[in-house]
Amino acid sequence: MAVRILIVDDDELSREVLSLLATGAGYEVEAADSGDAALEQVQRVRPEVVLTDIQMPGIAGDELARQLRSLCGAGTMLLAMSGSELEEGVGRGFNGFLLKPFTMETLTATISSGLIRVEDRPADADDVVLDEGVYAKLAGSMRESQLEELYALCRKDAQVRVERMKEAASVGDDATYRKEAHALKGGCGMVGAVELQRLATSMEERGLRDDDVATLKEFVAASERLRRILIARESN
């Protein structure tokens, strides 16, 4: 019988990618877009595993883990995930932590062995535009048309968030700027857009600076490089 996993992520792209990959890996997948939705869902369908982003608006982090545990009991494995390293003392309510992006093999190994901490990051990420390993796994788990739609969704989502970041920068809204950068980091990481993920990580960590416009322009240029690479893949 397939393991039932509930994927919780407020970022639509990350949630969609994870759901597709987990389904392809043989899991029975449910999804929720917030901690509140997850708490409602586990009362209807009890999952064996809950995989949740640890940084979301509303109920999240260790408080979400505490409430999930009270509803699901000790028999459900609670796994946290994030595009950033956890701060000391954060995540203690979970059985394990996965650093985005991660493979289904990593997830399966974590579930099987109960590892407390797992990392699966591409080497030399600063010199890479597209993680070939992530791309290959996505290509192997869906039809070509679905793969094209997925990356188109990634680039469209990035364009929308960059515009929001420009608006935030124009009014000095550092919190919104960082929030959108965090969402970009997670979504880009899940599809192997390594250069975009690295830039988004930098923007989130730095926040608004005098060079924020230049950084956003660099992100747009990197998005164009990714587009050209994907076109080359599709033509081969």
CA atoms within 13 A on the CB side of 19: 16
Q: What angle do CA 222, 228, 230 make, to 5 degrees?
A: 105
Residue-level pLDDT at 36: 94
Q: Are residues 67 and 154 part of one domain?
A: no
- Given 121, 145, 165, the domain boundary residue is 121
Q: Are residues 99 and 80 part of one domain?
A: yes
Q: Which residue has the tokens 């788990």?
A: 141
Residue 55 vs residues 12, 155, 193: alpha-carbon distances, Å = 14, 22, 20
Q: Are residues 140 and 103 part of one domain?
A: no
Q: Are residues 116 and 9 part of one domain?
A: yes
CATH number of the domain residue 213 falls in: 1.20.120.160
CA atoms within 13 A on the CB side of 6: 25
In this structure, which amino acid lies at residue 20? L
pLDDT confidence of 140, banded at 50, 70, 90?
Answer: confident
Over residues 23-70, the pLDDT tens digits come to: 988 899 999 999 999 999 998 888 989 999 998 999 999 899 989 988
Q: Are residues 164 and 95 part of one domain?
A: no
* 52 and 169 Cβ atoms separated by less than 8 Å: no
Share of the chain above pLDDT 90, in %: 33
Mean pLDDT of the chain: 85
Q: Which residues of 144-175 are buried (b: 16+ CB within 10 A; e: fewer)?
A: eeebeebbebbbebbeebbebbeebbeeebee
- Residues 125 and 198: their CA atoms lie apart, in Å, by 8
In sequence order, the β-bridge partners of residue 7 are 31, 51
**Domain range for residue 113?**
4-121
Residue-level pLDDT at 28: 92
Over residues 190-206, the pLDDT tens digits come to: 888 888 988 898 899 88
